[in-house]
Amino acid sequence: MAAIRITSTDDLRRTDHRAVIPWERQMREIERPAINRDEGATLAFATQDARKLLDLPDQETLEGLRDRAILSVGLQVGLLRAEIAVLSVGDLHQNRDHDSLRVARKGGRRDALAINPQTAAAILSGALRACR
Name the residue ranges covered by the structural domains of the chain: 47-131
Which burial class, exposed, middle or buried, applies to 15 when counting CB atoms under 10 A from its CB (0-12, 13-18, 19+)? middle
Compute the average pLDDT of residues 17-30. Answer: 78
Q: Give the global pTM.
A: 0.61
In this prediction, residue 92 carries a pLDDT of: 92
Distance CA 87, CA 82 (A): 9
Residue 98: what are its φ and ψ, rounded to 5°? -120, 145
Closest CA to 6 of 22, 21, 25, 19: 19
The CATH code for residues 47-131 is 1.10.443.10
pLDDT digits (tens, 9 = 90+) for 33-90: 776 666 666 667 788 998 999 999 998 888 888 899 899 988 888 788 888 888 888 9
